[in-house]
Amino acid sequence: MLFCVSQAPDYEPTLPVSEKTNPLTRDIDQASASSIVKMLKACDTQMFQEGAGRTYQRLFSDQVITTMMEVAKRVEVILKDPEDSLIVLSGCGTSGRLAFLLGSGFNKELRKMNQNPIYFYIIAGGDRALFSSQEAPEDDPHLGTLSLKKICEGKKRVLFVGISCGLSAPFVAGQLEFCLQHPDVYTPVLIGFNPAHQARDEHIPGCSFTFCSVVQRMQEFAKSQKAFLINPAVGPEAISGSSRMKGGSATKILLEIVLSAAHAATFSHTPVTYKGILQHMRAYEATVDMTYAQSEGITTLVEAAGQSLRCGRSVCYLGWGSLALLALIDASECHPTFGAAYKDVRGFINGGYRDLNNSEGALTSLGPEFGIAHEDFLHSFLPSLNDQDIVLLIYTHSDDVSEVVKLARRVREKTSNLHAVYHQSDGDPAASLQQEDISKLCLSTLDFTWSSSASGCLLHMWELSTKLVLNAVSTGAHVLKGKIYRNHMIDVQVTNSKLYHRATRLLQKLSGCPEPQCEEVLLKAVYQVEELSMDITSSDITRHTHAARNTTQVVPLALVCLLTGCSLMEAKSHIKRQPIIREAVAVIIDMS
């Protein structure tokens, strides 16, 4: 993958921060559950590090805070005069899911104040991508533009927020480019976590622009506040390239601060100030600390979830409200990240689609993996549950805790492997008796009690905290299952160009073979052939990534072939004998 790197950073100089390997997690694949949690804590803490050199802006950098203020003021203008205006949040994968979460949350705030909703979300691949992996539409800039045009038809003013953690998604690049061409209506804001010069500079088929060239034009527009870039670095991900983790958390933090500041300025006459933004950021930093203060409890969950996955059973999140949405998001990311089956990690939300308010409505007809309501859990999941499956109850004291007790009892009849993650503010006696009942039914309870006087919206803090816990559970459990090699996702799906290049790079790194050879073997694994035909070699990446949708374990197979020189058939039987990829690869590397 090409990036326009003008200032070489410290290590892995050809890679942007979001794709680098994190030295803190180099040995995560060999770590115990408790060490995994320690490493994740160290990685998440990096988000708030200050003054890490002049090359990269950070969350607390002056320019970041100042731009956040400017964007908040733009939002305020729209909130005060919403006629013919829209605020659109858009992204692919996790970034699109967070666009949905944030848009829904802030629309809910508006409705509470009898205001019309003003936020719209776009996710590449449509609503099915909210709960399942749809990586291919990420590569399509035209689709991005079309979806933006469609929802903004007839609007006179649109604040467009494009989220791409890696400054890399062509879908978002297309939308930003469209905004730049129509500055009379659209003001684009880009959220990402690489310095501008590290934006992806790879040719996008059918387009005259790259993500990098769009960023450069945005920088020009930004001089006259016709575009805004908020792109602090938050350090490399714990699992290389897994932007669902820190990238997702930082997206949530930045946008919540901006939108909350705008809401406060509009509805409670609290002007947007530098100090206010800074204070809010500190509150998120404290939330991360508060969360990891319970590392022992998180470790228990990671250990138990890893145990379930290792014996081929499931991790099941039963959530309430927006915390359940975070659980659904976490579960949906396990397929592209770890090559997991949809049954491995499942999420369920009370009320199902009824409470979600997603634009396409109920998606249940798309297949069993789209059954996301508690009723779906009761019908399709509960009957086959046993002690090897772990069930996590995820809720807050503002939810109907008596419902939690009821569900906990039903689950307890099938499995004792029941755990709870619970948020409350200090001094809330109402829920405490029922909470005791739940705790008695559970093997472990992570009880987060937050000070109600802390700055920032408590629900936002609970959500972030829940996201960190669930990211730790699903990542840690897959690490323990052997789905990570060093700190790379080795069983990554190769279903878009970013993932294709990442896979080729990983093969080069692990096998030491030259790039053309790695790509050749990768293609053999994608097309499941021992020899590549002319038809295949003359095709472009779009076709390769399309073909990869129908195959599994592409990268592990290619790696075994490269390391041993064996055929694809032989590699398959090797992996069949040793399905734990970490161990399969380790054995082969030892042999070679």
Applying CB under 6 A, the residues found at the interface with ligand S6P are: 91-95, 138, 163-166, 168-169, 242-244, 247, 333, 336-337
The residue among 92 and 561 lying less far from ligand S6P, judged by its C-beta, is: 92
Toward ligand S6P, which CB reaches closer, 290 or 548?
548
Q: Which is nearer to ligand S6P, 167 or 561 (CB)?
A: 167
**Least distance CB 443 / ligand S6P (angstroms):** 29
Radius of gyration for the chain, computed over Cα atoms and rounded to the nearest angstrom = 23
Task: Give me the residue whose beta carbon is nearest to ligand S6P.
Answer: 93
Q: Are 489 and 320 spatial neighbours (Cβ–Cβ below 8 Å)?
A: no
Q: Closest separation between CB of residue 333 and ligand S6P, Å?
A: 5
Least separation in angstroms between CB 585 and ligand S6P: 21
State the Cα–Cα distance between residues 149 and 128, nearest whole angstrom: 20
Q: Rounded to the nearest whole angstrom, what is the least distance from the CB of residue 56 to ligand S6P in the complex?
A: 17
Q: How far is the CB of 15 from ligand S6P (least distance, A)?
A: 13
Measure Cα distances from 508 to 24, 39, 485 in Å: 22, 26, 14
Torsion of CA 226, 232, 238, 240, to 10 degrees: 50
Closer Cβ to ligand S6P, 58 or 244, answer by number: 244
Minimum CB distance to ligand S6P, residue 538 (Å): 27
Residue 333 or 463 with smaller CB distance to ligand S6P: 333
CB of 142 to ligand S6P, least distance (A): 17
CB of 489 vs ligand S6P, minimal distance in Å: 8
* Smallest distance from ligand S6P to CB 499, Å: 8
How many residues are given for the chain?
A: 592
Q: How far is the CB of 420 from ligand S6P (least distance, A)?
A: 26
Residues in a beta bridge with 395: 422
- State the Cα–Cα distance between residues 245 and 28, nearest whole angstrom: 15
Supply φ then ψ for residue 313, to 5 degrees: -100, -170
Decide whether 39 or 78 has the Cβ nearer to ligand S6P.
39
Tell me how far apart the alpha carbons of residues 346 and 422 are, in angstroms, rounded to a whole number.
Answer: 19
Task: Choose between 166 and 352: whose C-beta lies nearer to ligand S6P.
Answer: 166
Taking the complex as a whole, the smallest distance from the CB of residue 555 to ligand S6P amounts, in Å, to 15
Say whether 205 sits in a helix, a strand or coil.
Answer: coil
Tell the smallest beta-carbon distance from residue 138 to ligand S6P (Å). 5
- Closest CB to ligand S6P among residues 338, 353: 338
Question: Minimum Å distance from CB 206 to ligand S6P?
Answer: 19
Which residues, including other chains, have CB under 8 Å from residue 492's CB and lie 6 or more apart?
336, 337, 339, 499, 502, 503, 506, 555
β-bridge pairing 390-396 and 345-349 = unpaired
Q: Say which residue the tokens 């949040």 belong to.
A: 89
Give the nearer residue to ligand S6P in terms of CB position, either 247 or 339. 247
Q: Which is nearer to ligand S6P, 166 or 188 (CB)?
A: 166
Q: Which is nearer to ligand S6P, 76 or 139 (CB)?
A: 139
Nearer to ligand S6P by Cβ, of 243 and 350: the residue is 243
Query: Smaller CB distance to ligand S6P: residue 297 or 339?
Result: 339
Q: Residue 448: phi, psi to the nearest 5?
A: -100, 115
Q: CB-based contacts of 418: which residues, under 8 Å, 6+ apart?
A: 391, 393, 408, 411, 412, 441, 442, 443
**Closest approach of ligand S6P to the CB of residue 343, in Å:** 18
Tell me the one-letter amino acid at 136: A
Residues 6 or more apart in contact with residue 489 via CB below 8 angstroms: 239, 240, 241, 242, 337, 338, 483
- Residue 365 burial by Cβ neighbours in a 10 Å radius (0-12, 13-18, 19+): exposed
- Residue ranges of the alpha helices (H) in 419-552? 432-441, 458-481, 497-511, 515-527, 534-537, 541-547
Based on CB atoms, which residue is closest to ligand S6P, 19 or 389?
A: 19
Report d(CA 6, CA 12) in Å as an integer: 14
**The 3-state secondary structure of 267-326, one letter per residue:** HCCCCCCHHHHHHHHHHHHHHHHHHHCCHHHHHHHHHHHHHHHHCCCCEEEEECHHHHHH
Helix (H) or strand (E) holding 587: helix 581-591
With beta carbons less than 8 A apart as the criterion, state whether 325 and 98 touch. no
d(CA 457, CA 257): 10
The first and second tokens of residue 338, run together, are: 């770890």
